Amino acid sequence: MQFVFNYLQSLSIMSKKKVLFISQEIVPYLTETPLGKIGRYLPQGIQERGKEIRTFMPRFGNINERRNQLHEVIRLSGMNLIINDNDHPLIIKVASIQSARMQVYFIDNEEYFSRKSTIRAKDKSFYADNDERMIFFARGVLETVKKLGWPPDVVHCHGWIAALVPLYLRTAYGQNPLYRDTKIITSYYDDDFPETLSPELYHKLALDTIAPSDLIYYKEPGFVNIMKASAHFSDGLVIGAEKINAEVKEFLSATGKPILEHQNEEVFVDAISAFYDQFSEKN
């Protein structure tokens, strides 16, 4: 009987749907925002509904590592990512939210994430290398998940700094067996910025063996275009805030892809869990 119980338990674990959350912000690691609250409570809610989760965010320099008990995961660190022909060491850190029984992985690099702010300097200027920080974050997450050997059924992206993940999953990482059947969901928020990312972003992405036909949106890499691109490469779209950029919202509607409209706090976890399930059923 014990053998049968263990066997059934192992089947239950194997059959759990795996959801990878890639978030720009998660409380309590950064000041509370609507996006950060979703980054914190959605993974917990999805886990409580019987799915297996992994959660990633950038290790911005204004995160207090000591207070939040971050520590480096040596077995996952040590890789170099090449961006624009330059090597950048990838460091992986982890912390636990004990009340949620949830681990959060942090993508870190001294050059990109040591400064004591997120996307702007103290004088409010937009960091000139935010394009490379996006590349490093997206590739860092996908490489780390490969090292974990953890094939996600669903990848759910939150915030514009995660907006390159759908592109990479459908191009440079698309033939990797770990990601071949992965469905991509992207949430859209009121996190616009008026600046344009470096015009070199197109060429930096092309160096990752991505075809020019897949990079048309990045020739003018402002907020609207990078979010349009994320929708183009995603399978499902979620309106994560009551109000989002009007041009982006119009584009989302025109894609013809499944869209989950904005949900209130009482029902949003159940609604998103059901949204994941409709893609899993198509696998």
Which tens digits make up the pLDDT trace of 33-71?
A: 999 999 999 999 999 999 999 999 999 999 999 999 999
Segment 168-172 shows an average pLDDT of 97
Mean pLDDT in the chain?
93
How far apart CA 33 and CA 63 sit, in angstroms, is 15
Domain 19-56+128-280, CATH class in plain words? alpha beta
Give me the amino acid identity at 264: N
Per the model's pLDDT, the better-predicted residue between 13 and 84 turns out to be: 84
**230-264 pLDDT per residue, tens:** 999 999 999 999 999 999 999 999 999 999 999 99
pLDDT of residue 5: 43
Predicted structure pTM score: 0.93
pLDDT above 90: percentage of residues in the chain: 91
pLDDT of residue 8: 42
How far apart CA 158 and CA 187 sit, in angstroms, is 5
pLDDT at 3 exceeding the cut of 70 = no
pLDDT of residue 233: 98
80: left (phi over 0), alpha (psi -120 to 50) or beta: beta
How far apart CA 37 and CA 45 sit, in angstroms, is 12
Closest by Cα among 166, 84, 85 to 128: 84
Could you identify the residue written with the tokens 């911005």? 60
Closest by Cα among 233, 162, 160 to 190: 160
pLDDT of residue 14: 54
pLDDT at 10 exceeding the cut of 70 = no
pLDDT above 70: percentage of residues in the chain: 94
Q: Where are the domains of the chain?
A: 19-56+128-280
Residue 260, strand partner residues: 238
pLDDT of residue 15: 74
Q: Which two tokens stand for residue 91?
A: 């460091």
| 207 contacts: CB under 8 Å, gap ≥ 6 | 82, 83, 84, 85
pLDDT of residue 117: 92
| 156 contacts: CB under 8 Å, gap ≥ 6 | 19, 20, 21, 22, 42, 185, 186, 187, 238, 272, 276
